[in-house]
């Protein structure tokens, strides 16, 4: 199974913000840190804001931050929200579907996959935010440079 870039980028944004809980961050800063498209990241952040994972503050000194505590951001729920669908194969258009058990097996596998993710929150991924912050800072994106 492969998750979309949208989900990947959503996780990256949340990890970045979880490592910077004491300040507002910019989309440009996050995009530059991960070396990904700012335009694509804007779409991701828009969805994260609409779903309550991220809070956006407008204005000259605005930015983005987590919309809820990391312990309240469930990874399974995030993946369900950011993935367009989980049809692993197109069994509906297959001529052997009535006799094949693959659909049931894949649904079972997907349920197991999501059940594992449901056991974790963003807080489980970022147990030491300072380690993430050190990595981000080593890339030249220190908090002091973000909001002059």
Q: pLDDT digit string (tens) for 95-139?
A: 888 888 888 898 899 999 999 999 999 999 999 888 888 888 887
d(CA 28, CA 92): 42
CA separation for the pair 22, 29 (Å, rounded): 15
Does 8 score more than 50 pLDDT?
Answer: yes
Burial class (CB in 10 A: 0-12, 13-18, 19+), 62: exposed
Beta bridge partners of 39: none
Average pLDDT, the chain: 89
Q: Tell me the percentage of the chain whose pLDDT exceeds 90.
A: 64
Q: Let me know if domain 5-146 sits in CATH 1.10.10.10.
A: yes
**Residue 10 region, left (φ>0) first, then alpha (ψ -120 to 50), else beta?**
alpha
Token output for 112? 């197991």
How far is the C-alpha of 134 from the C-alpha of 141, rounded, in Å?
Answer: 10
% of the chain exceeding 70 in pLDDT = 94
How confident is residue 141, by pLDDT bands cut at 50, 70 and 90? low
Band the pLDDT of 61: cuts 50, 70, 90.
Answer: confident
Verdict on whether the full-model pTM lies above 0.95: no
CA atoms within 13 A on the CB side of 30: 26
């Amino acid at each position: 199974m492969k998750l979309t870039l949208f989900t990947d980028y959503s996780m990256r944004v949340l990890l970045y913000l979880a490592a910077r809980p004491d300040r507002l961050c910019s989309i440009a800063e996050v995009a530059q840190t991960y070396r990904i498209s700012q335009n694509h990241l804007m779409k991701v952040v828009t969805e994260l804001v609409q779903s309550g994972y991220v809070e956006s503050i407008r204005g000259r000194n605005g930015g983005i931050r987590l919309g809820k505590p990391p312990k309240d951001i469930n990874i399974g729920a995030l993946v369900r929200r950011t993935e367009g669908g989980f049809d692993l194969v197109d069994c509906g258009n297959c001529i052997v579907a009535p006799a094949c058990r693959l659909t049931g097996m894949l649904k079972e596998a997907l349920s197991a996959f999501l059940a594992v993710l449901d056991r974790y929150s963003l807080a489980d991924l970022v147990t030491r935010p300072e380690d993430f912050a050190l990595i981000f800072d080593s890339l030249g994106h220190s908090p002091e440079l973000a909001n002059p």
